[in-house]
Amino acid sequence: MKPSFTVHRTPSFRVLGDDQLDQIHLSVLEVLERTGIVVQHEEAAQLLKKAGCRFDGSLARYPGKLVERCIDSAPSRIIMYDRNKQPAMHLESTRIHFGMGSDTVYAYDPETGEMKKSEARDVANAARVADACPNIDYLMSLGIVHDVSQTVNDLVQFQQMAENSTKPICFTAHHRRNLQAIIDMASAVAGSLEALQAAPFIIHYSEPNSPLMLTEPALDKLLLCSELSIPLLFTPGSMTGGTAPATRAGALVISVAESLAGLVVHQLKNPGAPIIPGGNSMVMDLMTTICSYGAPEFHLVIAGYSELFHRYRLPVWGFAGCSDSHLLDEQAAIEATFSIMMNAMAGTNLIHDVGYLSSGLTGSCELIAMSDEIIGMVKRMLRGIPVDEETLATDVIHRVGPGGHFLMDDHTLRHMHSEFWRPGLLNRDPLEIWQNKGARPLRERLNERVREILAQPGAEPLPKEASELMARIIEEVRKRAG
């Protein structure tokens, strides 16, 4: 017995104390009840009025007790599956999962190195690279498809992800009609809507408008996901100093209020339906007006969101593996590493934007591969230092004794694979061997790895009927849109 013994199984990290979290929560409730949220949707407004919200035109004021009741109504655990119906992600507590970002305008071509407008092939390439990376847990499109009709490019992005990876998919949709079409496509992959609901492999991404507005398109999609119990990610996209206060605490308050305003509507429609709230208070650089993905304040506030939503016992959204750099260079490596480490130590559940360059404008398959390596290293750090009789190894030390060595000891052989993380792309060759191999920098090795992945057979193909049905759905939507 060790009555005063403290066990740290993983590195400890917090940015907010319990009293600070209490203050933020009470401030969120004050904003929702005193300032209110504009609700631009008739069905959502009727749900809120029936639940006790006060309306002044389209401005809704939420009672604090209603907000807290809906927080308790939302599930604290969401299990996501792959398209083979195997559990792939447990969105709960402080379990971390990493995925790419969505909808970049440009992409780097792995073959030519050219930056160009992203196309369907770029979405497919990113999906194949992510499918081959063991530390990338789910997909986003990492590109807006420009080489098909813009009325169906969101459907094509989903099609390319579903056909080139078995991993879970987080996707965007232009509006409710296209969201319904994508759910139909996912149902074709799963076998039926009921099979998709039983083992969901999709999460829809939607967001309110900052500051403090729930628009009709966003609520249209939110209500459909709630009705069908399709997992929904609902998080604002504010800019500190622009559409959110410049202070970290103020940014937390307004963004959490926006996210919870949608959560309340979602839970009133279908209590217990799966939803992942979160916050996104991008740092607007007041000198250049860009939204900075590499700013330390951005990842500090994401850690704050994580701590608050952990307190609510809700899954939470995060950002990592991204950079403001326009190239895969030292800046990209620095910013990707710090963002991955911060989000992982904060225990953020669904961490996206792996592969983002140019502050979210450009997708890079090489950055996906590099981030996969960084995530593996960070996960090893988060395992911490177990301390027990086996790991303290006092008997081993006594057996080897002064002047001996541990190289061939059974204890070393037992732990050589579990104790030591081995890089796949980072260099550990001695100087002479590295020189004999061509003295190539990391960016060349990353490009070579991406091209190797793309040259190999990808994920197991979808059944022919599912692929054909997805193609028919896309064509029907295209024809209806004219």
* Number of alpha carbons in the 13 Å side-chain half-sphere of residue 255: 36
Sheet holding 356-357, edge to edge: 115-117, 106-108, 362-363, 356-357
Calculate mean pLDDT across residues 95-105. 97
Calculate mean pLDDT across residues 79-108. 97
pLDDT tens-digit readout, 8-25: 566 778 899 999 999 999
pLDDT computed for residue 361 by the predictor: 97
pLDDT computed for residue 386 by the predictor: 87
Banded model confidence at residue 1, pLDDT cuts 50, 70, 90: very low
Q: Lowest-pLDDT range, 270-274, 282-286, 314-318, 478-482?
A: 282-286
Banded model confidence at residue 290, pLDDT cuts 50, 70, 90: confident
Q: How far is CA 5 from CA 1, 8, 11, 162, 387, in A?
A: 9, 10, 16, 49, 12
Q: Which residue has the tokens 């996104």?
A: 280
8 Å CB contact between 274 and 268: no
pLDDT computed for residue 285 by the predictor: 85
Closest CA to 74 of 224, 214, 184, 229: 229
Q: Residue 232: phi, psi to the nearest 5?
A: -125, 135
- Rounded to a whole number of angstroms, the CA Rg of the chain reads 24
Alpha-carbon distance of 331 to 185, in angstroms, equals 39
pLDDT computed for residue 273 by the predictor: 98
Q: Which amino acid is at 383?
A: R
8 Å CB contact between 204 and 235: no
Alpha-carbon distance of 44 to 428, in angstroms, equals 57
pLDDT computed for residue 88 by the predictor: 98
Q: How far is CA 388 from CA 204, 229, 393, 419, in A?
A: 44, 44, 9, 14
pLDDT computed for residue 431 by the predictor: 96
Secondary structure of residue 437 in the 3-state scheme: coil
**What residues have CB less than 8 Å from 204, skipping those under 6 apart?**
170, 171, 172, 173, 179, 182, 221, 225, 230, 231, 232, 233
In percent, the amount of the chain with pLDDT more than 70 equals 98
Angle at 289 between CA 288 and CA 295, to 5 degrees: 85
pLDDT tens-digit readout, 352-363: 999 999 999 999
pLDDT computed for residue 9 by the predictor: 62
Closest CA to 205 of 181, 235, 184, 176: 235
pLDDT tens-digit readout, 183-222: 999 999 999 999 999 999 999 999 999 999 999 999 999 9
Q: Lowest-pLDDT range, 17-31, 32-46, 160-174, 386-400?
A: 386-400
Peptide bond into 211 cis (omega under 30): yes
**What residues have CB less than 8 Å from 371, skipping those under 6 apart?**
98, 135, 136, 320, 321, 336, 340, 354, 355
Does 3.20.20.480 match the CATH number of domain 72-382? Answer: yes
pLDDT computed for residue 289 by the predictor: 84
Calculate mean pLDDT across residues 220-239. 96
Alpha-carbon distance of 415 to 411, in angstroms, equals 6
Calculate mean pLDDT across residues 371-388. 93
The whole-chain average pLDDT of the chain stands at 95
pLDDT computed for residue 21 by the predictor: 97
Q: Is 212 left (phi over 0), alpha (psi -120 to 50) or beta?
A: left
pLDDT computed for residue 98 by the predictor: 98
More confident residue, 348 or 284: 348
8 Å CB contact between 269 and 45: no
Instruction: List the chain domain ranges.
Output: 72-382, 389-419
pLDDT tens-digit readout, 161-193: 999 999 999 999 999 999 999 999 999 999 999
Banded model confidence at residue 393, pLDDT cuts 50, 70, 90: very high
Calculate mean pLDDT across residues 240-256. 92
Q: Residue 44: phi, psi to the nearest 5?
A: -60, -40
Banded model confidence at residue 330, pLDDT cuts 50, 70, 90: very high
371's tokens:
């981030």
Calculate mean pLDDT across residues 405-431. 92
Secondary structure of residue 362 in the 3-state scheme: strand
pLDDT for residue 6 is more than 70: no
Banded model confidence at residue 463, pLDDT cuts 50, 70, 90: very high
Q: Which residue has the tokens 């907000």?
A: 67
Banded model confidence at residue 239, pLDDT cuts 50, 70, 90: confident
pLDDT for residue 3 is more than 80: no
